[in-house]
Structure 1
Amino acid sequence: MEPGEQQDSTKLTTNPFRRTRHGSTSGESIKGRIRRASMSLKGIVRRERRGSAPAADINIHEMRPTTSHSTWHKLRQAASFRHPRTSYGCPGGLETIYSPLETEFPTLPVPGNGLEPPIIPWHTGAAAKAAAALQNESLGYARQYQELISLAESQNDRESGIGIAFTLSTSQVDEAAEKGAPIIRKDFIAELPSELAVHILSYLDASQLAIASRVSKHWHSIAQDQHVWRQSFLREKTNTYATSHSVQPGTGSGVPSIRPENDWQKIYKAREELDKRWRIGKQARAVFLNGHMDSVYCQQFDENKIITGSRDKTIRIWDMHTLQCRLIIGPPDVVNDTSVLFDPTGHPTHYALFPDDRRVNPSVPVTVSFPIHHSASILCLQYDDDILVTGSSDSTCIVYSVRSGYRPVRRLRFHTAAVLDLAFDDKHIVTCSKDCSICVWDRATGTLIKQLNGHTGPVNAVQLRGNTLVSCSGDFTVKLWNIDSGKVIRELAGHTKGLACSQFSEDGRYVASAGSDKVIRIWDANTGECLRSIQAHESLVRSLHIDSVSGRLISGSYDTDIKVFDMETGQQQLDFPGWHASWVLSAKCDYRRIVSTGQDAKILIMDFGADVPNIGMLESARKHEVACDVRNAGFI
């Protein structure tokens, strides 16, 4: 072979792109070839020696299992940190090969096509490679662990403790370690300053405080602190169902005013017993107030008084505590008749009557007639601390001043038929009528602001929440109005007969309505969705009242029944059938009582707090009431 040909052959067999140790791409040196050949020969010799060594030369004390399937070999492999070596004696690994076509690779990834794999450029895919390496490493660790578990189970007889390190959980180890540790008991309440101890115990409720007070004398002493019971009561007993804020002390909702003399432990226990009686419903004391001579259409009450309006054209004010009638307001021909005060035998016509026919607390109320008075039935009323407003079949409303002894201030006259219902707030008085209209009046001046027309039947009920008004009518519909614009916001349709009553929750989120179809519907006022439909009574539902604090819904019907429902679920909680001799015309409740009136001319009080120890402590500070001291009002 010619020298030139030999040179060309060398160029063909040598990789011109193979990098040397110094990074050059020159051909491989002779020294490197010799070294690699010697390493190969050494490897062959070592393998031959291991295979041909006589058994007699092996030290029996150093003999170890050589099979790759032995337990020792697997454990040694799993625990070894030495890297496997290649046949050349170097650490194992893939040798980097640089292809002469490297510069022709695409710079962007190329998806696979058919059986051809995708092409990933050499300078990309670092994240994928790292993820694959991490996954392989995790799988390797998991495989080694499973091999150890399998090995331990196969080599042991399952009766010994061998292998416990592979099966005992961390929690079991911790539990075993803690069994021998002594339990340290320390009375942290005794160690803390009394102020902190009181603050901590104030987060307990009544039942938890009862348990805590039995721990020790010191705990008992701390648990009797008034601050503990006050904070616990205000936290546990001021939550509400549908109000804009929690119950404020002293507002007449079963949370008394905060006074230094309050015994909050007794207050808490009284409220607990009261709530229990509401749940059971069998311990309410019933009492009837007699005095009206005809149907009692409307009523409102608080902790101190009840105000009623009747078909006998009178308004009567009753003392809630003594159950006596204090004042009668009416036309002169009615109030000047002695039959209003005494029966033919000379006995007072006003008294309280228990179900066993016991008459108690007879009274002779003051009678008064003003130049401005109603000449027909009193169909609706509402009062607050400043005014009382009544509506009548004479098509008018009268505004009275509570602070001046219920003297009339003005008459509101615009409707052309009976005023069936009314409502007011700080700015407006709203009335509705049998003439199918709603009137909005200025509270301060009595000026008519606007008339709302939209119902096609008598408007039987209205109620006001902010600038939103709800009304219901004999035309089967419930309407929500914007009182400022006078426009209908939403119409709630679903009832199949005329409606008699509708109610807003205090926060304006819910509306309840009912009527001749005997069904109570609860609506979402914001969306118009009917949330619940309750098959409530066997006859027309005449009255509804939402207690936004407790979430109770009180209904009264022409079937003579009074029922209590849960607003949240629609489930019936209590039923008082047949307590009135005829139609129930109005039924309302507060935290303690249900008060109802009917066609039988009686006022029924169902008192769940009667005979509850210290029940009077739940009341707000009693204000000076003209209703209870009419002699100082200048009438007599």
Structure 2
Amino acid sequence: MSSQDLESALSKFKVLNREQRKIFLKALVEDCTPHELYTLQQALQIKNHGSFDIVGTLPLELSVKIFEYLNCRDLCACRKICQKWRSITKDPTIWRAKCLEILYYDKGSISASDMEDIPKEGWEKLYIKLYRRDVNWDNGRVQRVRFLKGHRDRITDSKLKGNILVTGSADRTVRIWNVDTGQCEHVFTGNVFSCVDFLPEEKVIAASTYFRSSFLWSMETKELLGEFNGHVTAVRCISLSKSFIASCSFDGSVIVWNWKSGEKIATIPADSIAVRILDTIILSLSSQKIEAFDINDGTCIFSSPFEEGLIGWSYIQNYLSSIENPHDDIYSQLLSSLSVIKGLSHHSSVRVFDFDTHKNRFVRIDGQMPSAVLWLTLFDYNYRSKMIEYPFNDNSMDLDINKEIFRTINVDCRRIVAGCLSGIIVLLEFDEN
């Protein structure tokens, strides 16, 4: 919009009545960029038309679209301007968009069916709940502690995704838990399980034993879908994708199968501590380097020195999980996270840990401490650490968290799940009642 066009528009605006101004502004604003809209508002003030509310006179759908760009603090400030703006900021479309922004990173915290049941007036309440949960999470203030009982020996591995928790134990079982209810939904028996993984979208669970075998079960029918053998020593880590299952062992090899057909795809010589499948690429961590292999032929795509150990590896896995299509350029994604990984090197003494990479939080337990103390590290603020606060005097707690020795930690959807030496699972929740 040129200055001449603006002068022409203002000269017409002056002689119009209120209803005509609404029609005129609607047509004018639809052709304006955000900067031109700001210029128009300034020009109206100069011409003594500043008391005219441009946003308030727009059709509701346009006003709502403008207000969606504001953050929560600004929206609350806008409510104090006038009744019209207060009415706009109450529109459920705005708060639904704000909720979806948060839930984009916490895809499992609310199911799709639950979202369909939310009434229009309930989106603002949901946002307030999610916002308060994030504030508690940022400050390490646990609102509720729950204990999940069932395992009779130490927890060897655990995976939390959404409201589903899968745990492996030295008691020769793998258990599926519903985190919302705290109930164990199924128990798979076998041998002493060293590691577990599962895919909620494919509804399959994989677990490996200290005795070289890996198993795959259906989460729906609970039947055994396959047993995968090939290693000659204990399996250290297992990873699942939509088509493949991969495991690494103390025997210095990584083996990949197509779990749908049962066919062995490749045996890769790699002294791996941990593996992760990303589409058709296997990411492997050894004691001194990180490598990527093509699943189909086992060739090494890239190799780089890597001295940050399992903490750096864990951060990379969570970081790659938080972005879309990381396999398109894994190497550049690794480089982009190196600055954070370097800063984590002084946490090498931690015993168990996990990350919330979206919120830049690092949950850890120091391996040198005799008691179980959870720390929340804000690693975007000079790696400042603080002890996580949880309600000691909750009458519903029939166990003392300070007497437990944590063996595993998982972070997901602003929740912490810790597996203990005793077989107890501790669930720390940050939602307010």
**What is residue 252 of structure 1 aligned with on the other side?**
108
**What is residue 272 of structure 1 aligned with on the other side?**
131
CA RMSD in angstroms comes to 3.6
Alpha-carbon distance, 1:580 to partner: 6.2
What one-letter code is carried by the residue in structure 1 that aligns with 2:406?
A: V
| CA distance in structure 1 between the partners assigned to 2:123 and 2:72 by the alignment | 11
Alpha-carbon distance, 1:255 to partner: 8.6
| CA distance in structure 2 between the partners assigned to 1:220 and 1:488 by the alignment | 59
1:466 to 252, 276, 279: 279
Alpha-carbon distance, 1:608 to partner: 0.8
**What is residue 486 of structure 1 aligned with on the other side?**
298
**What is residue 198 of structure 2 aligned with on the other side?**
382
| CA distance in structure 2 between the partners assigned to 1:581 and 1:535 by the alignment | 29
| CA distance in structure 1 between the partners assigned to 2:78 and 2:311 by the alignment | 54
Return closer, same or farther for 1:538/1:472 CA change in 2, 3 Å cut-off: closer
| CA distance in structure 2 between the partners assigned to 1:495 and 1:186 by the alignment | 63
Alpha-carbon distance, 1:421 to partner: 1.1
Return closer, same or farther for 1:527/1:217 CA change in 2, 3 Å cut-off: closer
What one-letter code is carried by the residue in structure 2 that aligns with 1:434?
A: F
Which structure has the highest strand share of the two? 2
What one-letter code is carried by the residue in structure 1 that aligns with 2:414?
A: R
Contact 2:239–2:247 (Cα < 8 Å) also in 1: yes
What secondary structure, in the 3-state scheme, does the structure 2 residue paired with 1:237 have?
helix
Give 5+ residue unaligned stretches, structure 2: 1-44, 390-399
**What is residue 220 of structure 1 aligned with on the other side?**
86
Alpha-carbon distance, 1:283 to partner: 3.5
Contact 1:460–1:499 (Cα < 8 Å) also in 2: no
| CA distance in structure 1 between the partners assigned to 2:244 and 2:165 by the alignment | 24
Identity of aligned residues (%): 22
What secondary structure, in the 3-state scheme, does the structure 1 residue paired with 2:255 have?
strand
Return closer, same or farther for 1:490/1:193 CA change in 2, 3 Å cut-off: closer
**What is residue 254 of structure 2 aligned with on the other side?**
438
Alpha-carbon distance, 1:306 to partner: 1.9
| CA distance in structure 2 between the partners assigned to 1:425 and 1:281 by the alignment | 33
**2:189 counterpart of 1:325:** no
Alpha-carbon distance, 1:429 to partner: 0.6
Higher relative contact order (CA 8 A, sep 6+): 2
What one-letter code is carried by the residue in structure 2 that aligns with 1:197?
A: S
**What is residue 22 of structure 1 aligned with on the other side?**
none
| CA distance in structure 1 between the partners assigned to 2:310 and 2:179 by the alignment | 35
Deviations 1:383-436 (A, max 9, x none): 4232111111121011101121x2211111111111121111112111111222
- Aligned positions of 1:143-542 closer than 5 A: 184-234=50-100, 236-237=101-102, 247=104, 251-253=107-109, 257=115, 261-262=119-120, 263-330=122-189, 374-385=190-201, 386-404=203-221, 406-455=222-271, 459-473=272-286, 475-495=287-307, 502=314, 503-504=316-317, 505-506=320-321, 507=323, 525-526=334-335, 532-537=342-347, 539=349, 541-542=350-351
Return closer, same or farther for 1:599/1:232 CA change in 2, 3 Å cut-off: closer
**2:361 counterpart of 1:552:** yes
**2:411 counterpart of 1:589:** yes
**What is residue 19 of structure 2 aligned with on the other side?**
none
**What is residue 100 of structure 1 aligned with on the other side?**
none
What secondary structure, in the 3-state scheme, does the structure 1 residue paired with 2:276 have?
strand
Alpha-carbon distance, 1:211 to partner: 2.0
Contact 2:109–2:163 (Cα < 8 Å) also in 1: no
| CA distance in structure 1 between the partners assigned to 2:196 and 2:78 by the alignment | 52
What one-letter code is carried by the residue in structure 2 that aligns with 1:328?
A: V
How many residue pairs align between the two structures?
A: 364
Give 5+ residue unaligned stretches, structure 1: 1-178, 239-246, 331-373, 511-522, 612-636
Bigger Rg, which one: 1
What one-letter code is carried by the residue in structure 2 that aligns with 1:606?
A: L
**What is residue 137 of structure 1 aligned with on the other side?**
none
- Aligned positions of 1:66-77 closer than 5 A: none
| CA distance in structure 1 between the partners assigned to 2:80 and 2:308 by the alignment | 60
What secondary structure, in the 3-state scheme, does the structure 2 residue paired with 1:525 have?
helix
Contact 2:107–2:162 (Cα < 8 Å) also in 1: no
| CA distance in structure 1 between the partners assigned to 2:256 and 2:191 by the alignment | 23
Alpha-carbon distance, 1:266 to partner: 1.0
Return closer, same or farther for 1:599/1:283 CA change in 2, 3 Å cut-off: closer
Deviations 1:121-158 (A, max 9, x none): xxxxxxxxxxxxxxxxxxxxxxxxxxxxxxxxxxxxxx
